[in-house]
Amino acid sequence: MKLNMENIIDKKDKTLYLTLRKRWFDMINDGIKTEEYREIKPYWIKRLEGRKYDIVEFRNGYQKDAPKMRFKIEEISIDTGNIQWGAENNASYYVIKLGERL
């Protein structure tokens, strides 16, 4: 049996776990939405500032068997977001740009 080495994740990779509403989960799953936003508030500042994440794992809900998907993270920056993807006009967010799906 041949293993697909591209999908094997190094144990040293740091994963960011995020729960999404169905609308955003489906848009990411369908390849429409290519970035996720988090407000610049104390909770996210503590969780994102000064940390390096390699992978993001999205869950659709909190159930034990909730659908999941994983992506490499291209970058996390502070920027404005796309209004069609849930951002408010002219508001700044942590923008998590998604790379390859794992």
Single pTM value for the model: 0.82
HEC per residue, the chain: CCCCHHHCCCCCCCEEEEEECHHHHHHHHCCCCCEEEEECCHHHHHHHCCCCCCEEEEEECCCCCCCEEEEEEEEEEEEECCHHHCCCCCCEEEEEEEEEEC
**3-45: per-residue pLDDT in tens?**
444 444 445 669 999 999 999 999 999 999 999 999 999 999 9
Residue 86 has pLDDT above 90, yes or no: no
